[in-house]
């Protein structure tokens, strides 16, 4: 589709959250799939809430997601003269007026309307003032705002690409504020002028903006400019079907990054929140998402954020990803936990690839390599209580495990077949179940009740480390904790 230009315009009053990330993703996918342009704009005119730190946070989150922009980032704070120029233009054309109603006056009117059970909208008190009277009040320095002078009859309708035809009665739309008393533009003035100047063809944003759209269409009409295509995305809800918020857990994208989620499965998961692909396959690469995405596939119904499903996508990606691709990510995690050894990237690199392939079948996040897999990268690890209670409670193990260690030490080859044969033969000789020794060895070698296959673990650790850990009897002296 030639001429497609879309934008993502976050406010830097907080971190990039899941809903904003999905909006950015859908815009980006649409632009990439249609051969268009993806523009990044920062709406930073709220001086009290915006901060440079949040701008950097948002940019970092977008970069982590892989959502590169073609133009920008543009800052609204650098376009203030443009907004004021157009506000003056609308005032001169009698399409806007100055309003000096005080905050107290407006609050009183709202309260009166609420008490009578009626909805309130600005009643146009200052609209009736003559231009001379309005200018005189403004010249005297009375605090005030600039309001849009809307029509009193007719309708405002638009064809939403997702929700269909939406109609609002003009008389229900108040004369909304264009410029605040401090001279800063409101959202409505800023977003319309930005979209016009940046030649935005499609406005793809959350459904919570549907109520803003009629006001903005009125502004387009007043400026005698074409209206872009609107597509409003369904909301993202928590498991309890209320709007996703912090009470449901993390909502900031960078928090998920720090928890060990990966950008590719995260984007795959986000894409399916309110959009149905053409195929029945859920696991899609970035290229497949670009190829399949369309606004026709976006659902009207709200989407539910399922953390378990996100974790499933992440674990599936880890299982299928080559060890070499995961290696730099795992290196960061190991380094942050003090587990990194430069040998892992030199003489021990081949060993690292084998360990990654072994561990990735059971992990859900990159951080799990440093937690669940700690025993592979250091001898400084603890045996978890569950493993101790379940697999090390038999007194006979205090004798059998050192003897098993001696048997394994005598092996001339230390592969999967040799270690399994030695353990099972030893179990038969001692007339105990092989499972008793396998589970105890798993606890002593990894510290975990659940781990990869024990013989794969032995092969990965090597003969020397396996024998040393099974020979170590210090676990017998550990006092059981209260309640065990």
- Give tens-digit pLDDT for 184-208: 999 999 999 999 999 999 999 999 9
Rg (CA), the chain: 32
Residue 367's contacts (CB-CB under 8 Å, 6 or more residues apart) are 259, 260, 333
Instruction: With beta carbons less than 8 A apart as the criterion, state whether 98 and 299 touch.
Output: no
Distance, in Å, from the CA atom of 350 to the CA atom of 298, rounded to the nearest integer, reads 45
- For residue 261, being part of any structural domain is answered with no
Of 210, 233, 256, the residue that ends a domain is 233
Q: How many residues does the chain have?
A: 484
* Confidence category of residue 481, pLDDT binned at 50, 70, 90: very low
Q: How many domains does the chain have?
A: 2
Residue 366's contacts (CB-CB under 8 Å, 6 or more residues apart) are 260, 261, 262, 318, 326, 329, 330, 332, 333
* Confidence category of residue 240, pLDDT binned at 50, 70, 90: confident
What average pLDDT score do residues 335-354 get?
95
Distance, in Å, from the CA atom of 139 to the CA atom of 146, rounded to the nearest integer, reads 14
CB atoms within 10 A of CB 220: 15
Distance, in Å, from the CA atom of 265 to the CA atom of 66, rounded to the nearest integer, reads 12
Residue 27: helix, strand or coil by DSSP? helix
The CATH number of residue 406's host domain is: 1.10.10.350
Of 188, 213, 233, the residue that ends a domain is 233
**59 pLDDT above the threshold of 90:** yes
- What is the per-residue pLDDT across 372-391, written as a single tens digit (0 to 9) for each? 999 999 999 999 999 999 99
First-last CA distance in the chain = 67
Of 205, 233, 261, the residue that ends a domain is 233
Distance, in Å, from the CA atom of 117 to the CA atom of 446, rounded to the nearest integer, reads 67
Instruction: With beta carbons less than 8 A apart as the criterion, state whether 265 and 320 touch.
Output: no
* Confidence category of residue 145, pLDDT binned at 50, 70, 90: very high
CB atoms within 10 A of CB 479: 6
What does the pLDDT read at residue 244?
80
**111 pLDDT above the threshold of 90:** no
- For residue 175, being part of any structural domain is answered with yes
Cα 162 from chain centroid (whole Å)? 23
- For residue 8, being part of any structural domain is answered with no
- For residue 355, being part of any structural domain is answered with no
- What is the per-residue pLDDT across 211-231, written as a single tens digit (0 to 9) for each? 999 999 999 999 999 999 999
What does the pLDDT read at residue 133?
62
The CATH number of residue 106's host domain is: 3.40.50.620
- What is the per-residue pLDDT across 242-272, written as a single tens digit (0 to 9) for each? 888 766 656 899 999 988 899 999 999 999 9
What does the pLDDT read at residue 121?
82
How deeply is 305 buried, as exposed, middle or buried, from its count of CB atoms within 10 A (0-12, 13-18, 19+)? Answer: buried
Instruction: With beta carbons less than 8 A apart as the criterion, state whether 291 and 279 touch.
Output: no
Tell me the two tokens of residue 2: 């030639």
**323 pLDDT above the threshold of 50:** yes
What does the pLDDT read at residue 1?
55
Per annotation, catalytic residue among 109, 121, 149, 246: 246
- For residue 213, being part of any structural domain is answered with yes
**Residue given tokens 């378990």 in the structure block:** 308
- For residue 93, being part of any structural domain is answered with yes
Q: Which domain holds residue 408?
A: 385-476
Give helix 454-461 / helix 434-446 axis angle, nearest 10°.
Answer: 40
CB atoms within 10 A of CB 276: 14
What does the pLDDT read at residue 360?
95
Distance, in Å, from the CA atom of 148 to the CA atom of 96, rounded to the nearest integer, reads 4
Mean pLDDT of all residues in the chain? Answer: 92
What average pLDDT score do residues 128-148 get?
70
Question: Would residue 246 show up in a list of annotated catalytic residues for this protein?
Answer: yes
- What is the per-residue pLDDT across 391-434, written as a single tens digit (0 to 9) for each? 999 999 999 999 999 999 999 999 999 999 999 999 999 999 99
- For residue 306, being part of any structural domain is answered with no
Higher-confidence position of 54 and 101: 54
- For residue 39, being part of any structural domain is answered with no
Give, in order, the Cα–Cα distances in Å from 364 to each of 12, 23, 43, 281. 31, 26, 36, 20
**482 pLDDT above the threshold of 50:** no
CB atoms within 10 A of CB 256: 24
Distance, in Å, from the CA atom of 68 to the CA atom of 462, rounded to the nearest integer, reads 44
Distance, in Å, from the CA atom of 191 to the CA atom of 198, rounded to the nearest integer, reads 10
Tell me the two tokens of residue 51: 């901060």
């Amino acid at each position: 589709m030639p001429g497609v230009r879309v934008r993502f315009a976050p406010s830097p009053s907080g971190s990039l959250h899941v809903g904003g990330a999905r909006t950015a993703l859908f815009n980006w996918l649409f632009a990439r799939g249609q051969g268009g342009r993806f523009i990044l704009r920062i709406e930073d005119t709220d001086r009290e809430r915006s901060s440079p730190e949040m701008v950097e946070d948002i940019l970092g989150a977008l970069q982590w997601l892989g959502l590169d922009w073609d133009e920008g980032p543009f800052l609204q704070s650098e376009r203030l003269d443009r907004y004021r120029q157009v506000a003056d233009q609308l005032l001169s054309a009698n399409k806007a007026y100055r309003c000096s109603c005080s905050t107290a006056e407006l609050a009183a009117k709202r309260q009166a309307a609420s008490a009578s059970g009626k909805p309130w909208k600005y009643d146009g008190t200052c609209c009736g003032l003559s231009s001379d009277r309005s200018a005189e009040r403004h010249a005297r320095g009375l605090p005030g705002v600039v309001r849009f002078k809307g029509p009193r009859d007719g309708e405002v309708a638009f064809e939403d690409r997702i929700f269909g035809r939406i109609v609002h009665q003009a008389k229900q739309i108040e004369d909304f504020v264009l410029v605040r008393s401090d001279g800063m533009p409101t959202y409505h003035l800023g977003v319309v002028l930005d979209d016009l100047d940046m030649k935005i063809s499609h406005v793809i944003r959350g459904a919570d903006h549907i109520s803003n759209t009629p006001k903005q269409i009125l502004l387009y009409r007043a400026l005698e400019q074409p209206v872009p295509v609107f597509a409003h995305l369904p909301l993202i809800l928590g498991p309890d079907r209320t709007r996703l918020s912090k009470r449901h857990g993390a909502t900031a994208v960078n928090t998920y990054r720090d928890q060990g989620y990966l950008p590719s499965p995260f984007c795959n998961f986000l894409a399916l929140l309110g959009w149905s692909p053409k195929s029945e396959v859920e696991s899609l690469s970035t290229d497949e998402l670009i190829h399949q995405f369309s606004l026709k596939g976006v659902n009207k119904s709200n989407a539910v954020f399922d953390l378990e499903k996100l974790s499933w996508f992440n674990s599936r990606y880890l299982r299928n990803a080559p060890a070499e691709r995961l290696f730099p990510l795992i290196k960061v995690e190991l380094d942050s936990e003090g587990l990194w050894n430069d040998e892992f990237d030199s003489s021990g690199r081949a060993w690292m690839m084998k360990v990654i392939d072994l561990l990735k079948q059971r992990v859900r996040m990159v951080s799990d390599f440093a937690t669940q897999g700690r025993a592979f990268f250091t001898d400084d690890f603890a045996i978890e209580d569950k493993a101790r209670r379940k697999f090390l409670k038999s007194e006979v193990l205090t004798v059998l495990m050192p003897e098993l260690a001696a048997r394994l030490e005598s092996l001339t080859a230390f592969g999967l077949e040799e270690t399994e044969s030695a353990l099972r033969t030893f179990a038969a000789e001692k007339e105990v179940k092989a499972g008793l020794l396998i589970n105890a060895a798993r606890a002593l070698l990894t510290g975990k009740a659940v781990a990869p296959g024990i013989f794969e673990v032995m092969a990965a650790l090597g003969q020397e480390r396996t024998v040393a850990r099974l020979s170590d009897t210090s676990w017998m002296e550990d006092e059981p904790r209260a309640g065990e």
